[in-house]
């Protein structure tokens, strides 16, 4: 199979992104599955390589078209945005601006057909905001840059896939926002990405909002019947294997043992908690619904250990694997 090209954004250059990228790209398993094109800063990657003890050379490219994937060197579209003296582990507007520009360039590269997917190293929301880019995170930023009105966050660990109906809003706001049309669209996006990943007839479990799925109206204010059940029924009419609303605690147990291919969580912590308990070190964040494939590590910038050479690259490796799995199969 032809290896797809995956654009890897360097994330916040003051975080662990440069280190985990260099550690991951040194792995033969990564070199075997994709053509890696880093969007970032070549000197920062070289410095990170020295910190983590990786001997890879870095080729600084002015344009993605110059990439030579036959070379053993890391191919980096060098935006030259990071001062040599930028410290690791500190929030700065300079680093936030760089992180934004890496994402912007990666979208342009994919839209030009020079890569088949995007894999993102972590950025700092605080640094992003300090640079004047008021987005809650990667997901919303990518939606803006691609002109996509609605996307969903999916988290994947070795034992569990979870897609979220709502994410970065307060719990009261989340419950108010949930309605049958939104739930149905989220289920559909998850169903589509699983089918493209090779799961022919995905088994999808849908979480309730209230304990015990509302216990037939005993708990809550009828949210399950009003907000979730109609969406589940609409998906079932399409012939999909969708079940719910189910008590979240029971559903995550069943999904963890393999009874479901994906769980639909209603709000941020309902979905994030189980995923992070089961596999933060190999967790992957996938933005579902974009016109481009996007996966990400499921950890932050880890400023407390940035620049120390001890960051774990396993989540990035898994994110690259997922990007390859989801990339168009006719990639050149």
**What pLDDT score does 1 carry?**
55
Q: 214 or 233: which carries more pLDDT confidence?
A: 233
Report the percentage of the chain scoring pLDDT > 90: 81
In a domain, 282, yes or no: no
* 167 in the same domain as 133: no
**Residue 151 binned pLDDT confidence (cut-offs 50, 70, 90):** very high
Q: Are 6 and 324 in contact (CB under 8 A)?
A: yes
In a domain, 284, yes or no: no
**What's the rounded Cα separation, in Å, for the pair 285 and 295?**
5
Q: Are 232 and 206 in contact (CB under 8 A)?
A: yes
**What pLDDT score does 137 carry?**
81
In a domain, 57, yes or no: yes
Tell me the residue range of the domain where 39 lies.
5-148+290-326
* 270 in the same domain as 206: yes
In a domain, 166, yes or no: yes
* CB-CB neighbours of 220 under 10 Å: 18
In a domain, 13, yes or no: yes
Q: Are 122 and 89 in contact (CB under 8 A)?
A: no
* 321 in the same domain as 266: no
Instruction: List phi, psi (to 5°) of 99.
Output: -60, -40
Half-sphere exposure of 194 (CA within 13 A, CB side): 26
**Residue 224 binned pLDDT confidence (cut-offs 50, 70, 90):** very high
In a domain, 181, yes or no: yes
Q: Are 50 and 37 in contact (CB under 8 A)?
A: no
Placement of tokens 């979480």 in the chain: 207
CATH number for the domain that contains residue 105: 3.40.718.10
What total number of domains does the chain contain? 2
Average pLDDT over residues 67-90: 96
**What pLDDT score does 178 carry?**
98
**What pLDDT score does 327 carry?**
81
Read off the pLDDT of residues 225-278 as tens digits, 9 standing for 90 and up: 999 999 999 999 999 999 999 999 999 999 999 999 999 999 999 999 998 887
**Residue 156 binned pLDDT confidence (cut-offs 50, 70, 90):** confident
Q: Are 117 and 150 in contact (CB under 8 A)?
A: no
**What's the rounded Cα separation, in Å, for the pair 203 and 241?**
5
Q: At what angle do helices 138-145 and 93-111 cross, to 10 degrees?
A: 50
- The two tokens of residue 312 are 């774990």
Q: Are 19 and 51 in contact (CB under 8 A)?
A: yes
Q: Are 230 and 152 in contact (CB under 8 A)?
A: no
In a domain, 9, yes or no: yes
* 237 in the same domain as 120: no
* 110 in the same domain as 194: no
Report the percentage of the chain scoring pLDDT > 70: 97
DSSP 134: -
User: For residue 281, is pLDDT > 70?
Assistant: no
In a domain, 331, yes or no: no
Mean predicted lDDT score pLDDT of the chain: 93
* 203 in the same domain as 121: no
**What pLDDT score does 280 carry?**
59
pTM of the model: 0.84
**What pLDDT score does 331 carry?**
42
**What's the rounded Cα separation, in Å, for the pair 45 and 57?**
9
**What pLDDT score does 197 carry?**
77
């Amino acid at each position: 199979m032809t290896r797809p090209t995956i654009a890897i954004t360097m994330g916040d250059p003051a975080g662990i992104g440069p280190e985990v990228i260099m550690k991951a790209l040194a792995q033969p398993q990564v070199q075997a599955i994709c053509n890696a094109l880093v969007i970032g800063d070549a000197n920062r990657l070289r410095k990170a390589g020295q910190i983590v003890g990786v001997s890879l050379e870095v080729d600084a490219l002015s344009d993605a078209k110059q990439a030579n994937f036959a070379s053993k060197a890391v191919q980096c579209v060098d935006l030259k945005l990071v001062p040599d003296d930028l410290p690791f582990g500190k929030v700065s507007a300079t680093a936030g601006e760089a992180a934004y520009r890496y994402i912007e360039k990666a979208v342009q590269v994919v839209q030009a057909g020079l890569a088949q997917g995007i894999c993102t190293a972590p950025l700092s929301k605080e640094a992003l905001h300090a640079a004047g880019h008021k987005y809650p995170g990667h997901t919303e930023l990518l939606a803006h840059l691609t002109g996509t009105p609605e996307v969903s966050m999916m988290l994947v660990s070795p034992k569990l896939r979870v897609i979220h109906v709502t994410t970065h809003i307060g719990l009261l706001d989340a419950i108010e926002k949930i309605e049958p049309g939104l739930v149905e669209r989220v289920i559909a996006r998850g169903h589509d990405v699983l089918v493209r990943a090779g799961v022919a007839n995905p088994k999808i479990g849908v979480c309730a909002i209230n304990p015990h799925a509302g216990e037939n109206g005993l708990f809550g204010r009828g949210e399950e019947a009003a907000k979730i059940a109609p969406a589940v029924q609409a998906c079932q009419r399409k012939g999909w294997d969708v079940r719910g609303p189910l008590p979240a605690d029971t559903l995550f147990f069943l999904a963890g043992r393999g009874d479901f291919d994906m769980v639909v969580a209603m709000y941020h912590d309902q979905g994030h908690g189980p995923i992070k308990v089961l596999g933060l070190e190999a967790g992957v964040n996938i933005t579902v619904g974009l016109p481009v494939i996007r996966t990400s590590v499921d950890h932050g910038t880890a400023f407390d250990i940035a620049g120390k050479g001890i960051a774990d690259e396993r989540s990035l490796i898994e994110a690259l694997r997922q990007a390859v799995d989801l990339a168009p199969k006719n990639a050149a």
